[in-house]
Amino acid sequence: MAKNNSNADQLITTIISGIEDVKGHEITILDLREIENTVCDYFIICEGNSNTQVNAIVNAIQKKVSKELKDKPWHVEGVDNAEWVLMDYVNVVVHVFQKHIRDYYDIESLWGDAKTTVIETNY
């Protein structure tokens, strides 16, 4: 593999840590590197129980990535209604959902060929 993934690995670890800081749950990583014509290398998908928690997850990710990696998302959308917030860190795209919206769009099955990693949370 020609791509250097240490930066992506560090970013993913930091994003997941931010999600866990505010008790985001159902955290899944989709590795899209083996799939042709994808817009990024990884999706990180998680959910919150309310728009308040979704916004808390988004803020926690932004603060942690900014502090630890001096990086910020290239683009963020969906914060107004906070049902589905997309955070674009170029190679890593984070989707923060409320459960009913995540169930409806079912991104994991749309990207069924991706290698999937489920992160166990202990809370």
User: What confidence score (pLDDT) does residue 4 get?
Assistant: 54
Tell me the two tokens of residue 8: 């992506």
pLDDT in tens, the chain (123 residues): 334 567 899 999 999 999 999 999 999 999 999 999 898 999 999 999 999 999 999 999 999 999 999 999 999 999 999 999 999 999 999 999 999 999 999 999 999 999 999 999 988
Q: Terminal CA-to-CA distance of the chain, rounded, Å?
A: 36
Instruction: Give the pLDDT score at 122.
Output: 86
Structural domain spans, the chain: 6-119
Where is 96: in which H helix or E strand?
Answer: strand 92-98
Residues listed for the chain: 123
pLDDT at position 42 is 97
pTM as predicted: 0.93
Question: Is CATH 3.20.20.70 the classification given to domain 6-119?
Answer: no
